[in-house]
Amino acid sequence: MTGVLPIALDRATRIVQVLLNSGKEYVCLMHLHKELEEEKIKEAFQKFSGEITQLPPIRSAVKRQERKRNVYYVDILEIEGKDILFRIGCQAGLYVRKYVHDLSKFLCCGCHMQQLVRSKAGPFNDKSMYTLHDLKDAYEFYKEENLLEKASGKEEEIRKIILPFENAADHLGKIWVLDGAVDPLCHGADLYVAGVVKFEESIKKGDLIAIFTLKNELICIGSAEMDSEELLKNEKGTAVKTTKVFMERGSYSKK
Amino acid sequence: MECKLPFEKIKRKIIVRINAETNAEFGCKPEDRTVEQLIQYGIISLNKPSGPTQKR
């Protein structure tokens, strides 16, 4: 598989955890062993959308037990002879190779997955991704001593490639807090509703939440104990149970 | 066909609970970080190349 692979650096390393369960999208080229009618192919894809059941393949990191996974959408991009190019948006943990295998069993026709490219991983997608070569070039350019351009020119390329780690939380529910609430959160304390300044209307109890300062810096991740209605109404209580802290302690305390 | 993942369909309207400001003395907006700081708290959307076992 090639395509989008989010990589977190240094103190942001643990943010990848919030991407593990996020939705994914792949573009897949599958090759049939004999030509089939377009109608029959479309019928098969229609059957394999929505909630499906999969038994993970022999070579897999997870327990070999049938499990339900959601196919949010599947779109046939092109059918040319025995080749089918399709795009699939799915829940994390769906094996596309197995999906193709199960499709072929339904079609009573041998087939295999020829190529797989990941086009979305949570908020990251193939409209904005860079190779290791791009990164190396941008870093070398940034480190160059003898450029005539002003300092900001040197940074342009690398700033396109290395993004603030807050971007990795773009798909989560968001809550912004008072400056005074920041340091306790950095020490692992839960977020009390009194510290909440603003929040997204779609928040439900149990949702994975990203907590930000009013400067939009990511402080920590947690689990919502209140939904958006309660966040607005309540004057006290625990709003979010903190599970993962990123901001350095002391960032928001008087020196 | 609408090709959106569940989180892409969520309405992101922001509800304000209290009016507050932030002190410029603490912290730093992500877009104002130096490159060094960016690397310390950074994420890259990498275009992963083919692995060693993949056919070319």
Tokens 């943990």 sit at which residue? A93
CATH number attached to the domain at A23-125 = 3.30.70.3190
Query: What pLDDT score does A234 carry?
Result: 96
Q: How far apart, in whole angstroms, are the C-alpha atoms of residue B32 and residue A96? A: 40
The order of strands in the sheet holding A173-177 is A191-192, A238-245, A218-224, A208-212, A173-177, A196-200, B14-16
Query: What pLDDT score does B48 carry?
Result: 94
Query: What pLDDT score does B33 carry?
Result: 96
Reference B14, options A222, A231, A218, A194; nearest CA is: A231
Q: How far apart, in whole angstroms, are the C-alpha atoms of residue A196 and residue A240? A: 10
Which residue in B45, B48, B55, B56 has the most chain A C-beta atoms within 10 A of its own C-beta, making it the best mutation to test that interface? Answer: B45
Helix (H, G, I), strand (E, B) or coil at A55: coil
Distance from CA of B55 to the nearest CA of A (A): 9
Three-point CA angle A102, A107, A108, nearest 5°: 95
Q: What burial class does residue A15 get, using C-beta atoms within 10 Å of its C-beta: 0-12 exposed, 13-18 middle, 19+ buried? A: buried
CATH number attached to the domain at A167-245 = 2.30.130.10
Query: What pLDDT score does A245 carry?
Result: 97
Q: Where are the domains of chain A?
A: 23-125, 132-162, 167-245
Express each pLDDT in A128-161 by its tens digit: 999 999 999 999 999 886 566 555 578 899 999 9
> Does the beta-carbon distance from A25 to B3 stay under 8 Å?
yes
φ/ψ region of B7 (left if φ > 0, alpha if ψ in -120 to 50, else beta) reads alpha
* pLDDT above 90: percentage of residues in chain A: 89
B53 touches chain A (CB under 8 A): no
pLDDT at B56 over 60: no
Residues A94/A10/A248/B43 CA torsion (nearest 10 deg)? -50
Determine phi and psi for A48, rounding to 5 degrees: -95, 45
Query: What pLDDT score does A144 carry?
Result: 83
* pLDDT above 70: percentage of residues in chain B: 93
> Does the beta-carbon distance from B41 to A251 stay under 8 Å?
no
ipTM: 0.92
Q: How far apart, in whole angstroms, are the C-alpha atoms of residue A184 and residue A117? A: 42
Reference A224, options A252, A202, A194; nearest CA is: A202
pLDDT at B51 over 70: yes
Neighbours of B56 (CB within 10 A): 3
Express each pLDDT in A6-58 by its tens digit: 999 999 999 999 999 999 999 999 999 999 999 999 999 999 999 999 999 88
- Residue B54's pLDDT band (cuts 50, 70, 90): low
> Does the beta-carbon distance from B16 to A198 stay under 8 Å?
yes
H/E stretch holding A219 reads: strand A218-224
Express each pLDDT in B3-22 by its tens digit: 999 999 998 999 999 999 99
Q: What is the mean pLDDT of residues A97-101?
A: 95
Model pTM greater than 0.95? no
Is residue A244 within 8 A of residue A218, CB to CB? The reply is no
Q: How far apart, in whole angstroms, are the C-alpha atoms of residue A19 and residue A5? A: 10
- Residue A236's pLDDT band (cuts 50, 70, 90): very high
Q: What is the mean pLDDT of residues A82-100?
A: 96
Q: How far apart, in whole angstroms, are the C-alpha atoms of residue A95 and residue A69? A: 9
Query: What pLDDT score does A69 carry?
Result: 96
